Amino acid sequence: MPKPNAVVSALPSTIPFVAPERMERESGRPFAARLGANESSFGPSPRAIEAMQRTARQDVWKYCDPEAFDLTAALARHLGIRPAEIVVGAGIDNLLGLTVRIFSEPGDAIVTSLGAYPTFNYHVNGYGRRLVTVPYRNDRADLDALAETVRRENASIVYLANPDNPMGTWHDAEAIESFAASLPGETLLLLDEAYGEMAPPSALPPLDTGRNNIVRARTFSKAYGLAGLRVGYLVGAEPICAQYHKVRDHFGVNIMAQSAALAALSDCEWLASVLAKVASARERIASIAKESGLAALPSAANFVTIDCGQDGDFAMGVLKALDARSVFIRKPMAPGLDRCIRVSCGLQQELDLFETALPEALAAAGRSRR
């Protein structure tokens, strides 16, 4: 067979996540509660469903608009910026890979938090860049240490999710703006705001497309309930955005995804109802954790991270015991964070199952209920 290049040859044959579908295939049974992937089981706007049905009947035989013109224009109006300051892509994951490809060279240092979103690391390694990680501090990204590491390593890119995945914690806008101002002008700040709609307003800095070293990534996968369609977008200065158009997959956001996202964006009432359900589910998950003697971290995302109170092995035991009870969750894996499990906001019946299963899982993992 032809030889893969040296970077690919050296990579392990792994993916960032083990999908719940694979877990179901291997176990031979479906999950009764799907609370691990931070999807929105509350579903998309009825307008988005109608748009997909209409597109399926009338337009799906066509190629999509490679410029995503209507969606980009609607996002520009929604955000109060210009269409040239937006790049639409096939989910944030796709845009993360493009960012690494465009704004760094092979061997460049790229900085992120140890234990942060692993798909970003997957792209860094896949393009032959050098991943440099900084431990969390008090379950939040350590902004001071990240900035210091960027300067020390002369990093091309620094990645920061705010609100954070996997911890759900956040920094306020003032701290984010101070962090951005502390970075060298040659370093790109890749600010992942996938959970921005669920965050308090104080967590998101005002949009400022006048800075040439910041891009902000957002998505229709979380609050808008369109994870399966893969629609995300970047906001940044026009000279930055122009670079993406040189190399992006111009047919990567299909015609049904574009029409659904456009309709979802217009349905403010549905979004508000979903955000209320997310807030209620966060409170319910925290209450379930407390009832079992565990501590839930404050969350600005559509999941809650729960401190299991012991080490990573115990937390993994809890995860596996929940899996055995048909409740799918995930957990942080980095040292210091691995004492926790992470539970997505879900439907009432899913949280009912989690509430029943958690005390049993704690006991199975070797801890009696308090």
Q: What is the CATH number of the domain that holds 335?
A: 3.90.1150.10
245, 105: one domain: yes
| 63 CB-side CA count, 13 A | 7
Residue 246 belongs to domain with CATH number = 3.40.640.10
pLDDT in tens, 313-333: 999 999 999 999 999 999 999
Residues 57 and 206 in one domain: yes
Query: Do the domain assignments include residue 369?
Result: no
- Asked if the structure places residue 164 within a domain, the reply is yes
pLDDT, tens digit, for every residue of 100-113? 999 999 999 999 99
Q: Do residues 205 and 244 share a domain?
A: yes
Q: Mean pLDDT across the stretch 30-34?
A: 96
Average pLDDT of the chain to the nearest whole number? 96
Residue 289 lies in a domain: yes
| 217 CA to centre of own chain | 10
- pLDDT category of residue 17 using cuts at 50, 70 and 90: confident
Domain boundary among 215, 248, 266: 266
Same domain, yes or no, for 32 and 62?
A: no
Q: Does residue 41 lie within any of the structural domains? A: no
- The whole-number average pLDDT for the span 66-76 is 98
Query: Is residue 1 a part of any domain in this protein?
Result: no
Integer angstrom CA distances of residue 283 from 276, 322, 367? 11, 20, 24
**In terms of domains, do 150 and 162 share one?**
yes
Residue 96 has pLDDT above 50, yes or no: yes
Give the percent of the chain with pLDDT over 70: 99
Q: Which residues pair with 224 in a beta bridge?
A: none
Structure confidence at residue 368 (pLDDT):
42
Q: Tell me, yes or no, whether 15 and 124 share the same domain.
A: no
Confidence at residue 367, expressed as pLDDT on a 0 to 100 scale: 67
For residues 171 and 58, state if they share a domain: yes
pLDDT at 326: 97
pLDDT at 369 over 90: no
| For residue 79, pLDDT beyond 80 | yes
* Mean pLDDT along residues 25-32: 94
Query: Per-residue pLDDT averaged across 114-125, rounded?
Result: 96
Q: 321 lies in a domain?
A: yes
242-249 long-range contacts, Cβ below 8 Å, gap at least 24? 242/84, 243/102, 243/103, 244/87, 244/89, 244/95, 244/98, 244/102, 245/87, 246/102, 247/98, 247/101, 247/102, 248/87, 248/89, 248/98, 249/89, 249/90, 249/94
Residues 293 and 245 grouped into a single domain: no
Domain ends where: 266, 287, 304?
266
Q: What is the dihedral of CA 124, 127, 130, 134, to 10 degrees?
A: 0
Same domain, 166 and 273: no
d(CA 348, CA 8): 44
Contacts of 26 (CB under 8 A, 6+ apart): none
- My answer on whether 13 and 66 are in the same domain is no
Q: Give the separation between CA 343 and CA 47, rounded to whole angstroms.
A: 28
* Domain residue limits at 106: 46-266
| Span 45-57, average pLDDT | 98
Helix, strand or coil, per DSSP, at residue 45:
coil
Q: Whole-prediction pTM value?
A: 0.95
What pLDDT shows up at residue 162?
A: 98
pLDDT at 198: 96
Within-domain flag for 323: yes
Same domain for 167 and 114: yes
| Residue 2 lies inside a defined structural domain of this protein | no
Domain count, the chain: 2
Last residue of a domain, one of 215, 235, 266: 266
Interval 201-240: pLDDT, tens: 999 999 999 999 999 999 999 999 999 999 999 999 999 9
The pLDDT of residue 370 is: 39
Question: Mean pLDDT across the stretch 66-71?
Answer: 98
On whether both 252 and 312 belong to a single domain, the answer is no
